[in-house]
Structure 1
Amino acid sequence: MTKNRPLLPAVIYIVGSVFIGPAIAVAGYVITPANGDYCDVSPHGSSGQRDRDYALLEGIQVTGSIIMLAVGLFLLVYAWANHRRINSLSLVLTSTGILVMVAGHLLVLIAGTAANTSC
């Protein structure tokens, strides 16, 4: 199916990223007992448990973002590798959409790794 429509996976990625990106960013915060408040130790029970919870949060955000970045870059390369079979305007619009979504996932990656754990 992708042989006949090389831009279809890219369009699915763009539309899916609108929902997946925020889900990755928010998922970790929702599963932590303090809902993202690192300095509040009481919901976690101890500072060690709090650190483990936030390590899980960082893992979710970093892993999800890296996967989505890799998929986006792969689809961008795939679209340009098939540029002869694609309308120029469609290729430029799809490439722009992919780059915008990749930038969003990069922002989630930066936010996930640059968390300040001091109170």
Structure 2
Amino acid sequence: MTKNRPLLFAVIYIVGSIFIGPAIAVAGYVITPANGDYCDVIAHGSSGQRDRDYALLEGIQTTGSIIMLAVGLVLLIQLWMNRLRINSLSLVLTNIGILVMVTGYLLVLRAGLAANSSC
């Protein structure tokens, strides 16, 4: 069991990302008063408050995605450093799983950075 610890963490990352990724993507929208509608100034109270709310939304999505991308990269490095101790099929499957999850986090990061603040 101790020989496959990188594999265990990779599986935890993959399974956890199924829940964490959407939570990061949706969390920012849920905490804004207009639930993601940038043009609804009335729900925010003022355009200044609206801009602050969406700066927070962008920060949540960007920071969460970058952290999870970094964790995925570290796990990929650990897997490849220990590749001789891990079953080849397990190595391939966990690498594919991590790459799929990293792609999802890249999409969340892109959504967070590409927020359009025009109506």
For the aligned pair, the TM-score class normalised by the smaller chain equals over 0.9
CA RMSD of aligned residues (A): 1.1
User: What is the rounded CA distance, in whole Å, between the counterparts of 2:7 and 2:27 in structure 1?
Assistant: 29
Q: TM-score, normalised by structure 2?
A: 0.97
Following superposition of structure 1 onto structure 2, how do residues 65-84 of structure 1 map, counting pairs within 5 Å?
A: 65-84=65-84
3-state DSSP of counterpart to 2:6: coil
3-state DSSP of counterpart to 1:43: helix
Following superposition of structure 1 onto structure 2, how do residues 43-82 of structure 1 map, counting pairs within 5 Å?
A: 43-82=43-82
Listed one character per residue, the Cα deviations across residues 8-62 of structure 1 (whole Å, up to 9, x for unaligned) are: 0000000000000000000000000000000000011000000000000000000
3-state DSSP of counterpart to 1:7: helix
Aligned equivalent of 1:110? 110
Q: Does 1:94 align with 2:94?
A: yes
Contact kept in structure 1, 2:72 and 2:98, CA below 8 Å:
yes
The one-letter amino acid paired with 1:35 is: N
User: What is the rounded CA distance, in whole Å, between the counterparts of 1:2 and 1:26 in structure 2?
Assistant: 36
Q: TM-score, normalised by structure 1?
A: 0.97
Following superposition of structure 1 onto structure 2, how do residues 19-38 of structure 1 map, counting pairs within 5 Å?
A: 19-38=19-38
Q: Following TM superposition, by how much is the alpha carbon of 1:6 offset from its aligned partner in structure 2, in angstroms?
A: 2.1
The one-letter amino acid paired with 1:108 is: V
Q: Following TM superposition, by how much is the alpha carbon of 1:5 offset from its aligned partner in structure 2, in angstroms?
A: 2.6
| Greater helix fraction, Structure 1 or Structure 2 | 2
Contact kept in structure 1, 2:65 and 2:106, CA below 8 Å:
yes
Listed one character per residue, the Cα deviations across residues 84-111 of structure 1 (whole Å, up to 9, x for unaligned) are: 0001111000000000000000000000
Q: Following TM superposition, by how much is the alpha carbon of 1:4 offset from its aligned partner in structure 2, in angstroms?
A: 4.4
